[in-house]
Amino acid sequence: MSLLCQDGKKRCFGGDPGKNLYAEYHDYEWGIPLHNDNNLFEMLTLEGAQAGLSWETILKRRKGYQKAFHYFDPLKVATMNYKELDLLIQNKEIIRNKLKIYSVHKNANIFLKIQNEFGSFDKYIWHFTDGEPIINNWKQFVDIPITTTESSIISNDLKNRGMTFVGKTIIYAYMQAIGIVNDHLTDCWCRMA
């Protein structure tokens, strides 16, 4: 069951006082189909950065990530050198984890290869569901899975291509973030029929 929020709307998450950033993300991004390659790269990066942390922690650092990684232009990120990447380890506006920072660079290079192979990353990622979102009918947030068969297939494919921080749990959260999966609860105001 969705949370009844102070503004009178029922939300899956982000309804507690002081959670405006989280509520805004819930209302205007989560579960909405995304097709722009730079935005798809951004969400893939942010989901990887979130591993072991809360999503709200990452949302609060999103602007820092945008500046640090050239607003998620994969070509610019792919050409970053090790000195630039090492400097990011000192950047307090992002998560200062060397493995996560270096994975963004590595993943950008693979992202470009996927774009070259498929014409766009959008075509690649959406082909796993034949271009259609998966719309689930969950009544309670606890019922939403953290992995699915589809997230395992995509995760394995990305790993086989050489990407890191793309485990099946991260990829399921990514699928939700980019709208391949719509997991808004049935009584949530954002629910798309």
Which amino acids are annotated catalytic?
25, 47, 55
* CB contact at 8 A, 133 and 91: no
Instruction: Enter the tokens of residue 104.
Output: 């963004």
| Pairwise CA distance, residues 152 & 114, whole Å | 18
* Dist. CA 161–CA 110, nearest whole Å: 7
CA distance 128 to 123: 9
Helix (H), strand (E) counts: the chain: 10, 4
